[in-house]
Amino acid sequence: MEAQQRVCPWWLGYTFINPLRKYQHNPDEILAQHIKPGMQVLDYGCAMGYFSLHMARMVEETGKVHCVDIQTKMLKNLERRARKAGYSNIVSSMLVGENYEPQKLEKQIDFALLFAVVHEVPDQQQLFNEIYTMLKPGGKVLFAEPPGHVKPGEFEVSIAKALHTGLTISDEKPALKKLTVILTK
Ligand SMILES: C[S@@+](CC[C@H](N)C(=O)[O-])C[C@H]1O[C@@H](n2cnc3c(N)ncnc32)[C@H](O)[C@@H]1O
């Protein structure tokens, strides 16, 4: 379990933003069905913002992307990339242990992305409780884990923690087939 919860090193963040990743994780295929202009969305465990910048494009000027990570270097790089892409006014970043305060976003979030992060979080129940707090009624979560790192049984245990908060499994079919689920409040 200890190994499962190790935080990925910050320098690995550069591999997550490799443009070739779109052939494995196409942001439009994965996210476009869930994100509309004007939405408030959350990218928890955003790293250097592979998904965050696409989310900013999708919510447009009237929406907001709230990005959370536990590593400063990830967020600094995300902020630089957001500035370069012209999304500084849409993307905001929050560091766990510093300015991440889920209560301030209570019932604000339309859509939350938890992509390849939950297995790194020591207290998954607390994370899902926070996600539940931040979601609007009817808000959605896309929860996906990397099949190479997380076993199906471990994914099921995490889902049980999500359901314990009151989230339910949606009928919507996620674009990714393995270790992915859509949850709703
Ligand atoms: C494997 S990376 C995935 C990054 C991103 N979601 C993606 O798919 O490109 C996991 C990220 O979660 C962050 N992370 C790990 N534990 C965290 C925690 N407790 N709270 C917030 N972020 C965390 C790591 O720093 C890292 O940036």
Find the Cα–Cα–Cα–Cα dihedral 149, 24, 87, 99, rounded to 10°: -10
**Domains by residue range for the chain, with CATH:** 26-184 (3.40.50.150)
Pocket residues: Cβ below 6 A from ligand 1: 7-8, 13, 16, 45-47, 50-51, 68-71, 74, 96, 115-117, 120-121
- What is the Å distance from ligand 1's center to 137 Cα? 25
How many angstroms separate the Cα of 116 from the Cα of each of 46, 81, 121, 137, 178? Answer: 9, 20, 10, 24, 12
Taking the C-alpha atoms of residue 112 and residue 43, their distance in angstroms, rounded to an integer, is: 6
Please check whether residue 32 is in contact with residue 94, taking contact to mean a CB–CB distance below 8 angstroms: no
- pLDDT, tens digit (0-9, with 9 covering 90-100), for 54-77: 999 999 999 999 999 999 999 999
- pLDDT, tens digit (0-9, with 9 covering 90-100), for 95-141: 999 999 999 999 999 999 999 999 999 999 999 999 999 999 999 99
What pLDDT does 5 receive? 65
What pLDDT does 6 receive? 87
Pocket test for ligand 1, best of 25, 50, 117, 127 (most atoms within 8 A of CB): 117
> What is the pTM assigned to this prediction?
0.97
- pLDDT, tens digit (0-9, with 9 covering 90-100), for 128-154: 999 999 999 999 999 999 998 999 999
